[in-house]
């Protein structure tokens, strides 16, 4: 009986904290969630980590209902999506999942949320990628930069890369603050992270990402509507960025094992300075690492030697 009362009390407190955030956000005309939406999952993470996944659904649904009554439409969408992030992150803590795995899935969820808000739900958030591309192009003309072939696609690529890195940064902030609160406030033991060398996406995900690379060329050749072209381009960029990130992890493992101190720095610098050339070798490395055992062979050569 005492445990049930404690669960109800803690759940009410978590809902109240998120409700206060939504009310403050409403006073700022919905601008607070643009920068601090990652705060929403923290109370749900704590509650789900303490009481389990099934118990965490009740405060999550309550938060969604309250956001419908109190928040603006963009804030309501953020509350629903980020609440799911908190729910599954809390599940990972409750099930003692590896910290690196939790950060990976948090990054995946936040990236999906960013792309949904910037592409599918763009009209709700007052965002238009076409206008954004025109503004950037006009700025380049004002800086006396001559137009180049495929300029709109390059600007779109830069926008998507910015969205992706923003999502990763937000996932990192959420991950760090969640660990601090769980360890120092709630006193929940968190398992240590696995070594980076053991992180590798399964081969079937590699094949799925490889197939997603053809999404944008396919919808372009079929001359579908702009919405489907944006979706296809989003899938293409998402798969490309995931593959490149996996390649950088692989290079970090090789750098550490073989003590090639400038390997990662060179790869990132090349990606920034000559992206049109550096992207394809990195994508090839990432796909090979996912779908083959090249990592085990390279690490095994060093070990046996």
Lookup result for tokens 């950088």: 248
Q: Are residues 185 and 218 in the same domain?
A: no
The domain of 273 spans 196-305
Residue 176 shares a structural domain with residue 237: no
Q: What is the pLDDT of residue 132?
A: 73
Residue 133: inside a domain: no
Residues 180 and 281 both lie in one domain: no
The whole-number average pLDDT for the span 44-65 is 86
Average pLDDT over residues 165-181: 84
- Residues 229 and 248 both lie in one domain: yes
Of 144, 173, 194, the last residue of a domain is 194
Q: Is residue 135 in some structural domain?
A: no
Residue with tokens 């709700």: 124
Euclidean distance between CA atoms 72 and 75, whole angstroms: 5
Residues 182 and 257 in one domain: no
Rounded Cα distance between 77 and 91, Å, is 21
Residue with tokens 């579908």: 224
Determine the pLDDT at residue 149: 61
Residue 76 exposure: Cα atoms within 13 Å on the Cβ side: 12
Q: Is residue 58 in a domain?
A: yes
**Residue pair 278/267 in contact by the 8 Å Cβ criterion:** yes
pLDDT, tens digit, 9 for 90 and up, residues 267-300? 888 887 887 788 889 999 999 999 998 888 888 7
pLDDT above 50 for 195: yes
Instruction: Kindly state whether residues 239 and 289 are assigned to the same domain.
Output: yes
pLDDT digits (tens, 9 = 90+) for 103-143: 888 888 888 888 777 766 666 666 666 777 777 777 777 76
Q: Report the pLDDT averaged over residues 190-198.
A: 68
Confidence of residue 34 (pLDDT cuts 50, 70, 90): low
Confidence bin at 305 (pLDDT 50/70/90)? very low
Residue 145's pLDDT is 62
Q: Do 253 and 178 share a structural domain?
A: no
Specify whether 168 is located in the same domain as 257: no
- 168 sits in which H/E element: helix 151-180
């Amino acid at each position: 009986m005492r445990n049930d009362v404690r669960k109800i009390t803690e759940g009410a407190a978590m809902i109240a904290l998120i409700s206060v955030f939504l009310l403050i956000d409403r006073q700022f005309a919905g601008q607070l969630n643009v920068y601090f939406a990652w705060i929403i999952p923290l109370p749900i993470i704590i509650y789900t980590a303490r009481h389990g996944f099934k118990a965490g659904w009740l405060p999550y649904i309550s938060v969604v209902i309250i956001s419908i009554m109190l928040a603006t439409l963009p804030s309501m969408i953020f509350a629903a999506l980020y609440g799911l992030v908190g729910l599954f992150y809390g599940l990972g803590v409750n099930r003692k999942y590896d910290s690196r795995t939790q950060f990976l899935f948090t990054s995946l969820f936040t990236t999906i949320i960013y792309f949904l808000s910037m592409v599918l739900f763009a009209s709700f958030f007052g965002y238009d990628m076409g206008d954004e591309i025109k503004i950037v192009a006009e700025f380049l003309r004002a800086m006396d930069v001559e137009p180049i072939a495929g300029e709109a696609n390059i600007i779109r690529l830069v926008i998507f890369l910015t969205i992706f890195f923003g999502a990763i940064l937000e996932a990192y902030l959420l991950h760090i603050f969640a660990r601090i609160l769980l360890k120092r406030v709630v006193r929940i033991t968190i398992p240590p992270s696995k070594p980076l060398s053991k992180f590798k996406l399964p081969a079937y995900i590699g094949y799925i990402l490889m197939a997603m690379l053809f999404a944008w060329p396919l919808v372009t050749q079929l001359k579908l509507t702009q919405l489907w072209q944006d979706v296809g381009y989003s899938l293409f960029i998402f798969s490309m960025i995931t593959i490149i990130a996996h390649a950088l992890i692989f290079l970090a493992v090789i750098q550490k094992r073989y003590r090639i101190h400038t390997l990662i720095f060179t790869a990132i610098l090349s990606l920034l300075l000559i992206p049109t050339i550096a992207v394809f070798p990195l994508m090839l490395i990432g796909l090979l690492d996912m779908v083959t055992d090249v990592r085990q062979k390279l690490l095994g050569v060093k070990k046996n030697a």
